[in-house]
Every structure is written in structure tokens, then in C-alpha cells.
């Protein structure tokens, strides 16, 4: 096996959002690339607005953005993740003759300049020769050994997110669902993890249940979700995060149950994602009954044969 230092190297431009950066890192790993990451931001709001017409005019100005560190290495591909990264990636890529790959759909910019764009189906990308569409967000799941399951014990896990522009997580409605889960899985160990968006009211409600172990992000940002996916018979997760859902259907053998939430408006990409994954047998929308949705999306299979380096 090649050591990381021996692998072709990618430079990742991130807009600073952990979810975007993680998707780029996941693709680098699936493509068997080592990588360095650099955060990039426009110097001001107007600079971002100007970048769209400049891109369509094939004009690239490095003065519009700033990088968190200098670029000193030799790279075979530049991977851009997030709206503030695409123009900078094109600018640096042209200057250094490095092909540029985009994670997610770089809306507003010319698609044709990218060597490859990897976009999830729920973003409804156009059909172009340089756009690779996959059913989920790019992700890389690797257990960290945070959860140890005694021999003979069985695990059910819950992953709770938080309210957003589309969904509202009501603690009392969620309480009823968790009571149902405890009643159904009386002979199982039950654990829970929350996210940075989970509200204090939801945290307080979860503390009232006798979970075998609680990973509350507000108290401990450790991420047990990869361990949950590796060890659980069933994983229940709230419907508010495409990233959480993508991870759950891409790793392990657990049956995946998605907990429906009250919607503030039409769920759009969330609906498209869960509907497609239901078709693939990867998840079941929890309605008080249990499904057997344990099929997994193998992201590496979609990337097989792609060569961006060498």
C-alpha cells in the first residue's frame, strides 16, 4: 500500500464551512489523493458579486479574494468546495496550470471550465459531460473507536440535528418518537448524538431518557456517528441534514430510519434526497413501524475510472 506522502497531491480550497470542506476531503480520499487545505474568502461582498460576470468574461483577478496561507506545494488537481472557493480556484488553477474540480454545483459560474464537477442528484444538476451526478453528498466515514459494544449486546442509535430554514424540531414531538423507540427496543443499548445546531430544549429533553450513552455536542464535540453506523442494528436520524443522511446510507450495515419533522416550507432538496434513497432501499421514513432499508450507496463505485492526476 502506498504511503500518504507517495500519493498524488490535491489542493483543496474551502469556504470555511466544515460540511463543504469535509465533502472535498472525502472526494480526495475516494480518489486516493493526499491533500492540503487552504481557506479562501472574498475580500468583500461586492467582490463576490463581481466575480460572476468576470468569470463569464474569462477575467480572473486574484485581488478579489484572500487565502489563509501561501501555496508552496506541487499539486496535480485543485478541488473547490463552497461558493467562495470557485472563482479563486479558477484563478489559481489558470495561473498555475492546475486542473480544477468542483464539489457541489458551482451555480453562477461557467461549468465548462471545470475538469470535473461532482454534484448530488438532489441539487438537480444539468446533464453535461463534465458533471458527475451521485445520489448523496460526497462523504468519507471512518469509525474512531468512541463506542465500544460489549459482546452479545445490540445497539440502536439516534442522531439528532437542529431546526433550520426548512425543518422545525419540536422537543415534545421528538420526545414521543423516542419513547416509542425505547418501548420497541427494550433489549438493546440505545445511544444518542446531537449536532452543533441542536437546541438547548432538545438537549434537556434528551437528558430525561436513560440512554446508555449521550454524546451532546454542546458538552462534547466528539463525533460518534461513524461508530454508530458501524455497530448499530438501526440508526434513527432527523431529516434536517443531507450530510447526516448521506453518511448513514454510505457506510455500515445498519437499517436507516429517518425521523420526519414539521416543515416550515417545501423541503425541496431534502425531499428529493430521501425520496431517491427510499427508491434505492437505503432508508425508511419512520412512521411508527420499522423498515429493513439497509442498502448502501458506494460512492467509490461512481468515481471508479476517474483520473485527475497523472
- H-type helices in 152-199, by residue range? 171-184
Whether residues 37 and 93 share a domain: the answer is yes
Same-domain check for residues 15 and 120: yes
Q: What mean pLDDT do residues 141-170 have? A: 94
Looking at the domain assignment, is residue 87 inside a domain?
Answer: yes
Within-domain flag for 147: no
**Domain assignment of residue 274, given as a range:** 155-285
d(CA 122, CA 136): 8
Number of domains in the chain: 2
Q: Give me the half-sphere count of Cα atoms (radius 13 Å) on the Cβ side of residue 257.
A: 19
The CA distances from residue 299 to 36, 235, 296, 307, in Å, are 22, 20, 9, 15
| Confidence (pLDDT) at 305 | 81
- The confidence score (pLDDT) of residue 4 equals 53
Classify residue 84: in a domain, yes or no: yes
Residue 205 included in any domain: yes
**279 plus 159 within the same structural domain:** yes
Q: Are 230 and 145 in contact (CB under 8 A)?
A: no
Same domain, yes or no: 161 and 241: yes
pLDDT value at residue 1: 41
Residues 128 and 74 in one domain: yes
Supply the pTM of this predicted model: 0.90
Residue range 158-166: mean pLDDT, rounded: 95
Q: What is the mean pLDDT of residues 55-61?
A: 97
Regarding whether 246 and 210 lie in a shared domain, the answer is yes
Segment 28-48 shows an average pLDDT of 95
Residues 18 and 107 in one domain: yes
Kindly report the CATH number assigned to the domain that includes residue 41. Answer: 3.40.50
Q: How does residue 267 score in pLDDT terms, banded at 50, 70 and 90? A: confident
Kindly state the average pLDDT of the residues 237-259.
96
Q: What is the CATH number of the domain that holds 261?
A: 3.40.50.1950
For residues 114 and 198, state if they share a domain.
no
Within a domain: 9: yes
State whether 195 and 229 are in the same domain.
yes
Question: Are 164 and 268 part of one and the same domain?
Answer: yes
Do 113 and 15 lie in one domain? The reply is yes
- Rounded distance between C-alpha atoms, residue 176 and residue 277, angstroms: 25
pLDDT exceeds 60 at position 283: yes
* Domain annotation covers residue 35: yes
- 18 in the same domain as 121: yes
Q: Which of 281, 278, 233, 277 is nearest to 254 (CA)?
A: 233
Amino acid at each position: 500500500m502506498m504511503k500518504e506522502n507517495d500519493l498524488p497531491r490535491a489542493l483543496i480550497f474551502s469556504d470555511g464551512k466544515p460540511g463543504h470542506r469535509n465533502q472535498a476531503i472525502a472526494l480526495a480520499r475516494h480518489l486516493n489523493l493526499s491533500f492540503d487545505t487552504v481557506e479562501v474568502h472574498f475580500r468583500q461582498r461586492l467582490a463576490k458579486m463581481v466575480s460572476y460576470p468576470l468569470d463569464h468574461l474569462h477575467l480572473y483577478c486574484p485581488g478579489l479574494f484572500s487565502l489563509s496561507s501561501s501555496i508552496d506545494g506541487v499539486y496535480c488537481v485543485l478541488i473547490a468546495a463552497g461558493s467562495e472557493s470557485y472563482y479563486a480556484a479558477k484563478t489559481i488553477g489558470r495561473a498555475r496550470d492546475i486542473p480544477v474540480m468542483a464539489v457541489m454545483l458551482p451555480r453562477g459560474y461557467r461549468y465548462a471550465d471545470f475538469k470535473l464537477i461532482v454534484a448530488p442528484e438532489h441539487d438537480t444538476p444539468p446533464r453535461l459531460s463534465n458533471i458527475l451526478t451521485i445520489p448523496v453528498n460526497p462523504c468519507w466515514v471512518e469509525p474512531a473507536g468512541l463506542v465500544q459494544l460489549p459482546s452479545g449486546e445490540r445497539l440502536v442509535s439516534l442522531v439528532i440535528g437542529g431546526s433550520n430554514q426548512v425543518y422545525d424540531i419540536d422537543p415534545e414531538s421528538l420526545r414521543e418518537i423516542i419513547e416509542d423507540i425505547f418501548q420497541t427496543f427494550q433489549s438493546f443499548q440505545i445511544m444518542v448524538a446531537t449536532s452543533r445546531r441542536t437546541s438547548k430544549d432538545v438537549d434537556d429533553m434528551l437528558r430525561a431518557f436513560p440512554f446508555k450513552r449521550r454524546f451532546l455536542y454542546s458538552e462534547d464535540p466528539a463525533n460518534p456517528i461513524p461508530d454508530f453506523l458501524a455497530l448499530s442494528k438501526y440508526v434513527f436520524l432527523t431529516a434536517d441534514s443531507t450530510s447526516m443522511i448521506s453518511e448513514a446510507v454510505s457506510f455500515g450495515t445498519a437499517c436507516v430510519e429517518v425521523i420526519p419533522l414539521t416543515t416550515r416550507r417545501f423541503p425541496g432538496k431534502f425531499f428529493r434526497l430521501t425520496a431517491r434513497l427510499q427508491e434505492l432501499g437505503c432508508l425508511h421514513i419512520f412512521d411508527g413501524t420499522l423498515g429493513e432499508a439497509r442498502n448502501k450507496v458506494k460512492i467509490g463505485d461512481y468515481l471508479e475510472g476517474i483520473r485527475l492526476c497523472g
